[in-house]
Structure 1
């Protein structure tokens, strides 16, 4: 039967958009069902503050009256001011959320997204980015045999060939690195950490969740400085900061987020989360009637106040730009990683860590990961095409 593509226009359409992967990945044990309410919020104007600076159109593919695919086409007006070599440009636009039953559906969806982007003046199509660079960027091309961690995407292994046959070429790879956190770091790294602990000018402190807004402001100031030259960097708006803070607060624990100070000045941070995907994998996307209580119990570790998880994820880490070429940057990074590693094992029962995503050409962070015996476990690819 012929494939028809139509724009998402109603609440029921958005529900169908969110529901499709639950059918397509139902038999794939590596796929983790997202919480449906959260997924709906991310694609709904008025709920996700991304729409305050972005324009998007979602599309559904149907065959014989059955939904068989989905895609988004969007323009982020904070993305386009970036220099073209950083991923932006006034004529750039994005697509994301690609899921399809077969290649014919995928090609029709990509063509529809491109047509919408061309109609908005876009000449350089970049994707997948779903829907923000801070949410789930890139197409999974390595690591399909294991589940992703929280806020990392999962894609059918067939999609890589389908996207490339649509004329797309790699523009950037993003890696996640995994490590056994029950093992001590190599002796050289331990000496670097020990030296830092003896340096009276360095303080690595836990955050205080009771001062959440103040601590978040410190972290975001470092982040915006540290990441400002990175490919694809889009700064957080005030409303996005509030939105992210509300969403992340339940998985923020004082001893898993560290701020490094030098002579009393905050110059680096490291944020670590217990892998929420481990706790919600069996909820099938539903919080009610019993999912909410299960998740709350797991987040609180029963009565302990700390969840017990296998994996800790480091989604964000940064050192202020003026220190990035110095030995101090690596020393602070190793210290924060080590202090959080110790607490993750001792207090949360974690055995595995995941750092990322990290840009393939971020030499500093990739070198740090290699120095502590990390291995790349997943690679996500962002593509581009002149349209």
Structure 2
């Protein structure tokens, strides 16, 4: 496919995959707020032999070339589990996705998005939703607010120009994802402290740390609660057993027992909160590679990490307790216990919670109650595309 001397071609060889992964390192070389991801992680994400998402999804990756030079990239993908979800929850039959988009200019972007849409049409999709890189559980959404500071671990960053390009390509707003930042060096407001104190007097409630010696079992427990807790959320796609094992293996090196809490009521696990030290603070200087000495620096840091920021990527409570006072109480207790540990043992001063759907009233109310503020917004867009 050509447009204004631009050639769009599928990624087919190892050299193509390298070019696909390497492109952002050139495009963002002068952006102080872009954090170079580990290249091995990106290669693993797009490799069907490594990423279990491909057990229920299919994807095609494309490169844009102009004058023999790679000037853009994009993915087009279909998640067959997403096709089975209710339409009112954001996915559903006929919905395909695109993501991992980078482009030197708008002309390149137009050619890339047109090719991604054509690939989706060829597979009978009639709605294009994105960006998802490559699933809702990876890096969803286009950054539209918060370009002035770096993303935390497992969150994306992109050129501010992309927002206008996507909208001029006929895409409209589908959903906003927010992240909240909060000063964790000071106690939470008095009303929150009273709710926590009340929970501590309740003999039915226990908040415990995860046991890393039983990590696989704990990870399976947490993610089973997650699948139930999030099952009615917009964009939800269930994690398979293979994906749960894969996520657990990836997270294990940056999991610390005092930063992940499980809430039990009368001995039954009903809620969890995962907090991660911001690995991006260490990745910034590695330029995407653990060689030759990056691995040693990272391992040394992981032994006793110090991180300015702690990120809460996931919280969940079983469905029967959602929208109850008990659910909020458990959330406040877990947040407070982890806040104390983060300040005392990791030297942290800042917390980031999210992403959170803009219409998730329960989580937004909790974020407001602890006096956090929205620091980044990610937008997911949609467009009707005519099926062939």
Conservation of the 8 A alpha-carbon contact between 2:100 and 2:131: yes
Name 2:262's counterpart in structure 1: 259
Q: How does 1:308-323 map to 2 (within 5 A)?
A: 308-323=306-321
Partner SS state of residue 244, structure 1:
helix
Return the alpha-carbon distance in structure 2 between the equivalents of residues 217 and 6 of structure 1: 40
Asked if 1:234 is matched to 2:232, the reply is: no
Name 1:303's counterpart in structure 2: none
Q: How does 1:236-251 map to 2 (within 5 A)?
A: 236-251=239-254
Return the alpha-carbon distance in structure 2 between the equivalents of residues 220 and 18 of structure 1: 29
> Can you give the 5+ residue segments of structure 1 that lack an aligned partner in the other structure?
301-305
Q: How does 1:150-169 map to 2 (within 5 A)?
A: 150-169=153-172
Return the alpha-carbon distance in structure 2 between the equivalents of residues 146 and 124 of structure 1: 33
Asked if 1:52 is matched to 2:72, the reply is: no
Q: Deviations over 1:68-96 (max 9, x none)?
A: 00000000011111111111122110000
Asked if 1:120 is matched to 2:118, the reply is: no
How far apart are residue 141 of structure 1 and its match? 0.2
Partner SS state of residue 136, structure 2:
coil
Name 2:178's counterpart in structure 1: 175
How far apart are residue 148 of structure 1 and its match? 0.3
Partner SS state of residue 181, structure 2:
strand
Name 1:377's counterpart in structure 2: 375
Q: Deviations over 1:121-172 (max 9, x none)?
A: 0000000000011000000000001000011001100000000000000000
Partner SS state of residue 296, structure 2:
helix
> Can you give the 5+ residue segments of structure 2 that lack an aligned partner in the other structure?
none
- Matched length: 382
Name 1:333's counterpart in structure 2: 331
Partner SS state of residue 283, structure 1:
coil
Q: Deviations over 1:18-73 (max 9, x none)?
A: 00000000000000000001111100111111111101000000000000000000
Name 1:34's counterpart in structure 2: 37
Q: Deviations over 1:103-124 (max 9, x none)?
A: 0000110000000000000000
TM-score (norm 1): 0.98
User: CA RMSD, aligned part only?
Assistant: 0.7
Return the alpha-carbon distance in structure 2 between the equivalents of residues 163 and 364 of structure 1: 30
Name 1:73's counterpart in structure 2: 76
Return the alpha-carbon distance in structure 2 between the equivalents of residues 329 and 13 of structure 1: 48
Q: 2:341 aligns with which of 335, 343, 353?
A: 343
Partner SS state of residue 311, structure 2:
strand
Name 2:366's counterpart in structure 1: 368
